[in-house]
Amino acid sequence: MELAFTDHDDLRVIKAADRRIDAAVAIQFKDKMRELTADAPPRILLDLSAVDFLDSSGLGAVVAAMKETGEGSRLELAGLTTKVRKVFTLTRMDSVFTIHDDVASVLAGLADAG
Amino acid sequence: MSFLGKAAGRPIPGRIGNLPSLHLVFPAHTRAVRQALEQVLGALPADQIKDDLRASIELVLAEVLNNIVEHAYGPEGSGVIELEMIACEGGLWFRTLDDGAPLPELPPGTRPDLGGPPAKLPEGGFGWFLIRDLTQGLAYRRRALRNELHLGFRLDGRCPANPFLANDE
């Protein structure tokens, strides 16, 4: 499970490189996310633009990651592909997470604010 | 993990052209499940089965097969899963077979409630909801110590009849 991050001031962008976040890798995803958010950056953006497929295990892992970021940290999502977005919509999780079209628009927002 | 065996497709005449039937046998591990899903999607031509339906099929089968890996056989168990696909009048049906623990009853699959504080958001319970929501036919039976789950997807206006119940061998 490949997750790489870049920091932009208070924003940490974590990019999921695996094409599938499913039962085969859900636990590794959770563990890796925990590592990458342990120092509690105030705002975390999970870039899912390379992820083609996510099942209920993957969804549960993303929810777990969100719950683990804890007080003072926000986990947001970006770049949901069609099949991934479908899972969030069906389960109504799209009303729980802040979902951006892409990382670029979030970074542009930072630049405007700064 | 390599597949233990696979029947060659034979064309089924009818409304969906010559979609082959499929019969896969594979070990109950998540990696083998991924391979099985690839095989199924490879057998569903994009010009005959729309993207949204392909996505539903992939998701439902992932949920069902991973449930078998996790619950039927459990953490200490190992076993084999059979997956069959039959295209028929107005529908596409799948059957999974496993020798794992029985399902006491089909879970209701109610959509988990997301109200309440973020710290209490559910991380599970979505699988059966997705299975029920995305299929138009669902049946379970236990025969000769095997679990059988039947999943139907409608291809046109009609509700497809379950071919796995048609001839009781």
pLDDT tens string B23-79: 999 999 999 999 999 999 999 988 889 999 999 999 999 999 999 999 877 777 789
The CA distance from B5 to A11, in Å, is 49
Q: Provide the mean pLDDT of chain B.
A: 86
Task: Tell me if B151 sits within 8 A of B93, measured CB to CB.
Answer: yes
Looking only at Cα atoms, what is the longest distance across chain B?
Answer: 53
The CA distance from A20 to A55, in Å, is 9
Q: Which of B30, B52, B58 sits opposite A24 (nearest CB)?
A: B30
Task: Tell me if B38 sits within 8 A of B51, measured CB to CB.
Answer: no
pLDDT at B18: 61
Is residue A29 within a helix (H) or strand (E), and if so which, with residue range? helix A26-37
The CA distance from A25 to B107, in Å, is 25
- Kindly indicate the confidence band of residue B16, based on its pLDDT and cuts at 50, 70 and 90: low
Instruction: Render pLDDT for B81-103 as a digit per residue (tens, 0 to 9).
Output: 999 999 887 889 999 999 999 99
Does B160 have pLDDT greater than 60?
A: yes
Which parts of chain A have pLDDT scores under 70? 114
- CB-based contact, A66 to chain B, within 8 Å: yes
pLDDT at B13: 39
Would the CB atoms of B33 and A23 count as touching at under 8 Å? yes
**Nearest C-alpha neighbor of B49 from the set B80, B17, B21:** B17
**Nearest C-alpha neighbor of A62 from the set A51, B34, B51, B129:** A51
Point out the least confidently predicted range of A33-42, B87-96, B107-116, B153-162: B153-162
For the record, the structure tokens of B124 come out as: 């599970």
Residue linked to tokens 């590794």? A28
**Nearest C-alpha neighbor of A79 from the set A16, A25, A9, A4:** A16
Please give, rounded to a whole number of angstroms, the shortest distance from the CA of A64 to a CA of chain B: 6
Query: Which of B37, B58, B121, B132 to mutate: most A Cβ within 10 Å?
Result: B121
Does B135 have pLDDT greater than 70?
A: yes
Task: Tell me if B116 sits within 8 A of B54, measured CB to CB.
Answer: no
Does B108 have pLDDT greater than 80?
A: yes
pLDDT at B165: 84
Length of chain A equals 114
Q: Which of A20, A53, A96 sits opposite B114 (nearest CB)?
A: A96
Phi and psi torsions of B86, nearest 5°? -130, 130
Minimal-distance CA residue of chain A relative to B62: A55
Question: Which residues, in sequence order, are CB contacts of A95 under 8 Å at separation 6+?
Answer: B114
Supply the ipTM of this predicted assembly: 0.95
For the record, the structure tokens of B85 come out as: 């696909």
Please give, rounded to a whole number of angstroms, the shortest distance from the CA of A75 to a CA of chain B: 11
User: Is the CA virtual torsion A71, A77, A83, A89 positive or negative?
Assistant: positive
